[in-house]
Amino acid sequence: MRSITVPPTAGLPLQLGDLWPFGAGNFAQQLATWLGIEAVQLECSGTSALMVALRSLKSLKPGRSEIIAPAYTCPLVALAIAQCGLQLRLCDLRADALDMDPACLQRLCCEQTLAVLPTHLCGRVADVDMALHCARAVGAYVIEDAAQALGARNDGESLGLKGDLGFFSLAVGKGLSTFEGGVLIAREPAMRAALSATGEGVRFSPWWELRRSVELLGYAMLYQPSGLHMAYGKPLEQALSRGDWVEAAGDDFDDGIPQHRLGCWRQRVGAKALPRLAAFQQQTDEQARARVAQLQACGLEVVQDIAPHAQGVWPVILLRMPSQQARDTVLRAHWADGSGLSLPFVHVLPDYGRYDHVLASARHDDVSQARDWAQRLLAISNSPWLDDARFVKLLSVLEGALQQG
Ligand SMILES: Cc1ncc(COP(=O)(O)O)c(C=O)c1O
């Protein structure tokens, strides 16, 4: 019998009852209560949420045009910035932590800077205070990119509230999913009003909603042990057999970012699933803690929250391997076997080539430290479907790679 194909991240599985549209509460209100904030604004994707944020900030400070993001991030961020007519600047990473390098960020911040994007990658909490310090010195905004970190907290409150605004993704495989979806939050009522005014311009699209609803139905059916091979295993095998790591990691995006409203039925599905999210995240948190301890006991370097007093979430456990060779050897041998290994992103943004047209002069920003991270990072799924027996096998593979350097 084939063992379960482990999905690359720990997503909350949907239940049949979630699909029944009656008896669901107001998703936006429930989500706001769950996050401990006054209100949230729903969008059709994290990228679309970022675009609403960027357009709002642009209307508040029309003379500014540059957005500073970490060089190792989701390519959708670069596409969104370009689609809003803004210019990306790439910040290198710290050598000792998966976060923007303060000296580099300080150098990049200038009178042209509209916003800085501290990014809570893979659920790990970034240092927003440092980003705020650099941004405020030049009068720029801070947008917390918490696409991969719904439910994570810093100093006791949800991410997205230290900065001027923040956004979460509800895409496939995220903690909570409406197949595609995004959530915008802001502490200040004036900023919420600006976001809401921009959001008003986003129209409902029957075609997109129908498509996403069918995709959500498919996701609900396949994000179960018997469907995971079809949903994840087969496409992964095919991409890897072509040697296409960019496609295997899901980093191949089209230029045009669709923007439309998040439809009613999908909101209701989210509202029905949300009450199970806290227990699911507690389960994945406990699993991650135990496994992080095992990995560290073997001498492996696990990426931790950067901010002090932070409580990240654990869609994956991120490792920094001793070398690119050690990382790639493990991936070549085990990426396709369904045991839950993956890459957060394959490259730093300038190294894809296919995104050069949206990077413009950012292609020449110094990203050498970020490139080193990109070459050595390895993600282990924290899905509960990766059982202890398979995790222990993975552990011995990783230990072997560590010994070989
Ligand atoms: C760091 C980061 N920012 C933004 C996004 C965009 O979110 P979405 O896929 O919901 O459009 C993602 C997607 O995973 C991401 O990882």
**Ligand 1 centroid distance, CA of 177 (Å):** 12
CATH architecture of 16-200: 3-Layer(aba) Sandwich (3.40)
- CB of 148 sitting under 6 A from ligand 1: yes
The number of beta carbons lying within 10 Å of the beta carbon of residue 136 is 13
List the residue whose alpha carbon is closest to atom 8 of ligand 1.
Answer: 46
Write out the two tokens for 180. Answer: 């595609």
- What is the structure's pLDDT at 331? 97
**Ligand 1 centroid distance, CA of 122 (Å):** 10
- CB of 145 sitting under 6 A from ligand 1: yes
d(CA 270, CA 267): 5
**Ligand 1 centroid distance, CA of 9 (Å):** 13
- CB of 177 sitting under 6 A from ligand 1: no
Ligand 1 atom at shortest distance from the alpha carbon of 182: 10
- What is the structure's pLDDT at 403? 86
**Residue 338, exposed/middle/buried by CB under 10 A (0-12, 13-18, 19+)?**
buried
Summarize the confidence of residues 279-292 as an average pLDDT: 98
- Mean pLDDT value across the chain: 97
Write out the two tokens for 287. Answer: 């699993």
Share of the chain above pLDDT 90, in %: 96
- CB of 45 sitting under 6 A from ligand 1: yes
Ligand 1 atom at shortest distance from the alpha carbon of 145: 3
Summarize the confidence of residues 334-356 as an average pLDDT: 97
**Ligand 1 centroid distance, CA of 46 (Å):** 5
What type of residue sits at position 152?
Answer: A
Work out whether the CA dihedral 352, 166, 91, 312 comes out positive or negative.
negative
Ligand 1 atom at shortest distance from the alpha carbon of 119: 1
- CB of 382 sitting under 6 A from ligand 1: no
Q: Where does the pLDDT of residue 21 fall: very low under 50, low under 70, confident under 90, or very high at 90 and above?
A: confident
- CB of 76 sitting under 6 A from ligand 1: yes
d(CA 400, CA 258): 44
Query: Is a pLDDT exceeding 90 seen at residue 45?
Result: yes
In this predicted model, what pLDDT tens digit does every residue of 346-366 receive, in sequence order? 999 999 999 999 999 999 999
- What is the structure's pLDDT at 82? 97
**Ligand 1 centroid distance, CA of 297 (Å):** 32
What type of residue sits at position 139?
Answer: G
- What is the structure's pLDDT at 2? 72
Summarize the confidence of residues 172-191 as an average pLDDT: 97
- CB of 169 sitting under 6 A from ligand 1: yes
**Ligand 1 centroid distance, CA of 301 (Å):** 25
Query: Is a pLDDT exceeding 90 seen at residue 405?
Result: no
In this predicted model, what pLDDT tens digit does every residue of 66-86 receive, in sequence order? 999 999 999 999 999 999 999
- CB of 13 sitting under 6 A from ligand 1: no
Residue environment code for 112-134, b if the CB has 16+ CB neighbours within 10 A, otherwise e: ebbbbbbbbbbbbbbbbebbbbb
- CB of 9 sitting under 6 A from ligand 1: no
Q: Indicate the top mutation candidate among 44, 76, 121 to test ligand 1's pocket, ranked by most ligand atoms within 8 A of CB.
A: 76
SS3 at position 255: coil
Summarize the confidence of residues 208-235 as an average pLDDT: 96
Query: Is a pLDDT exceeding 70 seen at residue 1?
Result: no
- CB of 77 sitting under 6 A from ligand 1: yes
Ligand 1 atom at shortest distance from the alpha carbon of 169: 10
Ligand 1 atom at shortest distance from the alpha carbon of 121: 1
d(CA 156, CA 125): 12
List the residue whose alpha carbon is closest to atom 7 of ligand 1.
Answer: 46
**Ligand 1 centroid distance, CA of 246 (Å):** 15
In this predicted model, what pLDDT tens digit does every residue of 118-149 receive, in sequence order? 999 999 999 999 999 999 999 999 999 999 99
Domains of the chain, by residue range, sit at: 16-200
Find all residues with CB under 8 Å of 50, minimum gap 6, and list them.
76, 77, 80, 143, 145, 167, 182
- CB of 259 sitting under 6 A from ligand 1: no
